[in-house]
Amino acid sequence: RAVADADAGAGADADEAARRDAEVGAAKQAFRLHRALAYIGLGRTAAAVHDLHDLADAADASPDARFLLARLLLKSGALADARTHLSQALRADPAHAQAKALSEQMAASAKVYDEEATRLMLIGEVPKAISNLSSAIELEPTNALLYRRRALAHKQHDDARAAAADMEEAVRLAGGTFPEAERLLTGINNDAAIAEAAAGRLESALRYIDRAIERDATSARFRVNRADIARRLNDTEAALVDYAAARELCARTSSRRDDELAWEIECKVSLVHYEAGASHFNRTDYPAAFAAFSRALACNPRVPQYLLARAEVATMLKRWDVVRVDAEAALPLAPGHAKA
């Protein structure tokens, strides 16, 4: 009616129609709220929730409607939705007494869920503990400590992806600075990379290991893990770069663990060169194959397969001195080997 009056040039009539429309709209909101209250009194919760949802969806929804909806949703177990509507009620009216009281009730309930999760973790009921922590988070979705605790539960349950997501959220909620969570997140990202690689999700694995290295660029193990993933992605150049970086990091210390890792790196690098040599050999590029097999032997000279591969290429190149030396070196390592 207001639009029609305005189009006809009856501005005053249009203003009056708009005013009456606003009054009708307000009356409808009040009616829906009162009807919802009546439904609550009659125990018709679903009907009350329906009316309150309609009210809450409006941009100018009243704090009372949002509070009532939050309370009903909480009773029905829809914890996350309840917290959402209660937060909206408090943003609209921070002094809303009933909303504040309900918020305190939710915080107390979250604490109960958290404490029960602790008990469940102690007796090994990890999935149930995760469920309780999830309920606590729905009630207090901005609590960084709850996300950190659930991340650790996911980690114990061998779900590194979920653990990484929760620990990332814990750091975000803490404003980007949460030293303990950040330290744990580094290792969890590495765990997630290993799990993703084992499942064949190599691109995802690469993203996780990149995050781990971004947080700790001094870990030789992380570099080796990324090199392994790159190798499976057929990115030999990237793999060799990371193996070299890992080798350099190991050289800075003299622990037994680093010495063992350094030997592991040499073995893996030798395999990369051996695979490259086999590829060159299959393409009849014998000089390149010879060079690649030689690099493999420089890293690990006690693999008879490498020795025999170079010996075979040497026959193609008529390098009889190399053929003899490599065959003689292979025999003690693989006694009775027909090719040797």
In tens, the pLDDT along 57-91 reads 777 778 888 888 888 888 888 899 989 989 999 99
Residue 233 φ/ψ region, left for φ over 0, alpha for ψ in the -120 to 50 degree band, beta for the rest:
alpha
Say what the pLDDT of residue 252 is: 84
pLDDT band of residue 132 (cuts 50, 70, 90) is very high
Band of residue 256 on the pLDDT scale cut at 50, 70, 90: confident
pLDDT the model gives residue 28? 65
In three-state form (DSSP H/G/I as H, E/B as E, the rest C), the secondary structure along 276-305 is HHHHHHHCCCHHHHHHHHHHHHHHCCCCHH
pLDDT at 50 over 70: yes
Mean pLDDT of 310-331: 93
Task: Write the single-letter amino acid at 295.
Answer: R
Mean pLDDT of 6-16: 46
Q: How confident is the model at residue 17 (pLDDT cuts 50, 70, 90)?
A: very low
Q: What is the mean pLDDT of the chain?
A: 87
The rounded distance, in Å, linking the Cα atoms of 51 and 283 is: 74
C-alpha–C-alpha distance, residues 329 and 277, integer Å: 19
Do 70 and 49 meet the contact criterion of CB atoms below 8 Å apart?
no
232: phi then psi, degrees, rounded to nearest 5:
-70, -25
Side chain identity, residue 234: N
Residue 21 pLDDT exceeds 50:
no
What's the pLDDT score for residue 294? 95
Gyration radius of the chain over CA positions: 34
User: Which two tokens mark 8?
Assistant: 């006809």
Neighbours of 121 (CB within 10 A): 19
Q: Angle CA(49)–CA(55)–CA(59) in degrees, nearest 5?
A: 140
Mean per-residue pLDDT for 49-63? 80
325 conformational bin, left if phi > 0, alpha if psi -120 to 50, beta if neither: alpha
What does the pLDDT read at residue 258? 81
Question: For residue 148, which amino acid is it?
Answer: R
Rounded to two decimals, the pTM is 0.72
More confident position, 31 or 11: 31
pLDDT at 14 over 80: no
The closest alpha carbon to 219, from 267, 192, 253, 194, belongs to 253
* Beta strands, E only, the chain: none
Distance of CA 237 to the CA centre of its chain: 27
Task: Write the pLDDT tens digit of every residue in 190-227.
Answer: 999 999 999 999 999 999 999 999 999 999 999 999 99
- pLDDT at residue 224, as a whole number: 96
Query: What pLDDT does 27 receive?
Result: 58
Compute the 3-state secondary structure of the chain and give helix, strand, coil in percent, each to the nearest 5. 80, 0, 20
At residue 23, the pLDDT reads 47
